[in-house]
């Protein structure tokens, strides 16, 4: 009975079944929530699209200077929505869909565990039956029974191994999938936020450059200090040399862009550099 006793006990199989059921439960929820997150993001895009439309309508009723400023602003806002749309699409293909597929795979794994377990239980029963038979007639049919016991125990052992492999595969795949799906989620979000930051920087400059006095046709009332004239040269010369390539190198329609470690490191540096130039309001 050595082979039989080395097989995982029923309780171990139950633990595994629970583990898969647990994953199924949570990944199902993640899938629902991520789909919902994507939908809410799409609604935010819709509202912003309406705002863009209204801004353009309004711009058309205004004087040239304000008209141009508002139209530019509307265009920048529209760009952010394009990036948001790319974000939504990527979330769907790179997060929601894989989670859905994973749910299907979990069901298959559950069925597989059930099937292997059933086969194994049958094989163990068979083995026990042969054992009893051998004990009843120790001399008669001894050789045949002995050989049958051996065959049955080998079968049971093999099925057990398959069961163990299935479970191992499941665990390994689960951990890799978690890492992949959530890393993709973070990457998609990072790209969107970086793009939005870029566009809004330009939008801010554009709004700031607006000279309302030109629209007012009021001269000499106030000296409009355009912030543009106040802009000091950026302290980091290194940063300036980077100004050639724009972030558009991340294509909008491409699948999840790949973030390499240097880029990730850079993102960290960026926010830290931002803080450097962004002192506490008390200091400003």
Which residues in the 191-250 window bind its own copies by CB under 8 A?
193-198, 200-205, 207-208, 210, 212, 215-216, 218, 227-228, 230-232, 234-240, 242-250
Closest approach of its own copies to the CB of residue 2, in Å: 24
Residue 40 binds its own copies (CB under 8 A) = yes
CB of 213 to its own copies, least distance (A): 9
Within residues 141-160, the interface with its own copies by CB under 8 A covers none
Q: Which of residues 3 and 56 has its CB atom nearest to its own copies in the complex?
A: 56
CB of 133 to its own copies, least distance (A): 40
Q: Which of residues 51-80 bind its own copies (CB under 8 A)?
A: 51, 54-55, 57-58, 61, 66, 70, 73, 80
Number of residues that bind its own copies (CB under 8 A): 106
Q: Could you give the angle at which helices 142-209 and 97-136 cross, rounded to 10 degrees?
A: 170
- Of the pair 11, 61, the CB lying nearest its own copies is at 61
Distance between CA 14 and CA 123 in Å, rounded?
18
Pick the closer one to its own copies by CB: 4 or 194: 194
Binder of its own copies out of 152, 187, 220, 223 (CB under 8 A) = 187
What residues contact residue 191 under an 8 Å CB cut-off, 6+ apart? 83, 87, 250, 257, 259
DSSP class per residue in 56-123: HHHHTTS-HHHHHHHHHHHHHHHHHHHHHHHHHHHHIIIIIHHHHHHHHHHHHHHHHHHHHHHHHHHH
Q: Considering the complex, what minimum distance in angstroms separates the CB of residue 202 from its own copies?
A: 7
Nearest CB to its own copies, comparing residues 126 and 206:
206
**Smallest distance from the beta carbon of 275 to its own copies, in angstroms?**
4
Which of these, 99, 114, 116, lies nearest to 23 by C-alpha position?
A: 99
Radius of gyration of the chain (CA): 33
CA distance 163 to 237: 61
Q: DSSP character for 281?
A: T
116: exposed, middle or buried (C-beta count within 10 Å: 0-12, 13-18, 19+)? buried
Among 17, 48, 89, 121, binds its own copies (CB under 8 A): 48
Taking CB under 8 A as the criterion, the residue among 29, 108, 147, 161 binding its own copies is: 29
* Three-class DSSP labels, 17-31: HHHHHHHHHHHHHHH
The residue within the footprint of its own copies, chosen from 22, 108, 137, 161 (CB under 8 A), is 22
DSSP state of 51: H
Report, in Å, the least distance between residue 236 CB and its own copies: 5
Closest distance to its own copies from the beta carbon of 137 (Å): 45
By CB under 8 A, residue 254 contacts its own copies: yes
Q: How far is the CB of 216 from its own copies (least distance, A)?
A: 6
State how far Cα 50 lies from the chain centre: 28
């Amino acid at each position: 009975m050595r082979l039989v006793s080395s097989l995982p006990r029923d309780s171990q199989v139950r633990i595994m079944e629970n583990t898969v059921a647990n994953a199924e439960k949570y990944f199902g929820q993640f899938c629902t929530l991520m789909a919902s997150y994507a939908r809410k993001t799409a609604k935010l895009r819709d509202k912003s699209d309406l705002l863009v439309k209204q801004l353009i309508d309004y711009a058309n009723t205004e004087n040239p200077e304000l008209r141009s400023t508002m139209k530019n602003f509307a265009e920048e806002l529209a760009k952010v929505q394009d990036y948001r749309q790319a974000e939504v699409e990527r979330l769907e293909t790179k997060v929601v869909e894989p989670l859905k597929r994973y749910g299907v795979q979990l069901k298959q794994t559950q069925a597989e565990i059930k099937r292997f377990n059933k086969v194994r239980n049958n094989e163990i029963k068979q083995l026990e039956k042969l054992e009893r038979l051998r004990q009843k007639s120790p001399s008669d049919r001894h050789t045949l029974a002995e050989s049958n016991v051996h065959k049955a125990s080998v079968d049971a052992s093999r099925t057990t191994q398959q069961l163990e492999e299935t479970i191992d595969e499941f665990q390994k795949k689960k951990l890799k999938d978690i890492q992949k799906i959530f890393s993709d989620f973070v990457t998609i979000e990072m790209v969107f936020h970086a793009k939005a930051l870029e566009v809004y920087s330009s939008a801010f400059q554009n709004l700031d450059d607006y000279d309302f006095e030109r629209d007012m046709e009021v001269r000499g009332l106030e000296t409009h200090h355009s912030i543009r004239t106040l802009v000091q040269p950026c302290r980091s010369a290194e940063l300036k040399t980077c100004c050639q390539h724009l972030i558009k190198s991340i294509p909008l329609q491409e699948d999840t862009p790949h973030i390499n470690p240097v880029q990730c490191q850079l993102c960290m540096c960026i926010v830290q550099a931002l803080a450097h130039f962004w002192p506490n309001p008390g200091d400003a």
